[in-house]
Amino acid sequence: MKIVLIGATGMIGSAVSNELKEHEIISAGFKNGQYQVDIENRDSIEAMFEDVGQVDAVISTTGLIAFAPLNELTIEQFRMTINNKILGHINLLQIASQYIRDGGSITFTSGYVAQNPMPGSSSVSLVNAALDAFVKAAALELGSKLRINTVSPRFVKETMTLMGMDSTDGVSAADTANAYRHAIESNETGKAFDVVDYI
How far is it, in rounded angstroms, from Cα 24 to Cα 58? 12
Cα dist. 126→29, 35, 117, 174, 180 in Å?
24, 29, 9, 26, 22
Q: What is the pLDDT, as a whole number, of residue 155?
A: 87
**CA-closest candidate to residue 152, choices 188, 170, 176:** 176
pLDDT digits (tens, 9 = 90+) for 77-125: 999 999 999 999 999 999 999 999 999 999 999 999 999 999 999 999 9
**CA-closest candidate to residue 8, choices 31, 27, 35:** 27
Q: How confident is the model at residue 3 (pLDDT cuts 50, 70, 90)?
A: very high
Rounded to an integer, the average pLDDT of 31-47 is 97
Please count the other Cβ atoms lying within 10 Å of the Cβ belonging to residue 187.
8
How far is it, in rounded angstroms, from Cα 20 to Cα 23? 6
Q: What is the DSSP string of 181-197?
A: HHHHHSS--S-EEEGGG
To the question of domain 2-153+177-194 being in CATH 1.10.10.10, the answer is: no
Q: What is the pLDDT, as a whole number, of residue 94?
A: 98
Q: What is the pLDDT, as a whole number, of residue 119?
A: 93
Q: What is the pLDDT, as a whole number, of residue 158?
A: 87
Three-state secondary-structure class, residue 25: strand
- Residue 7, Ramachandran bin (φ over 0: left; ψ between -120 and 50: alpha; else beta): left
pLDDT digits (tens, 9 = 90+) for 152-194: 999 898 888 888 888 888 899 999 999 999 999 999 999 999 9
Q: Are 185 and 19 in contact (CB under 8 A)?
A: no
Q: pTM, whole model, 2 decimals?
A: 0.95
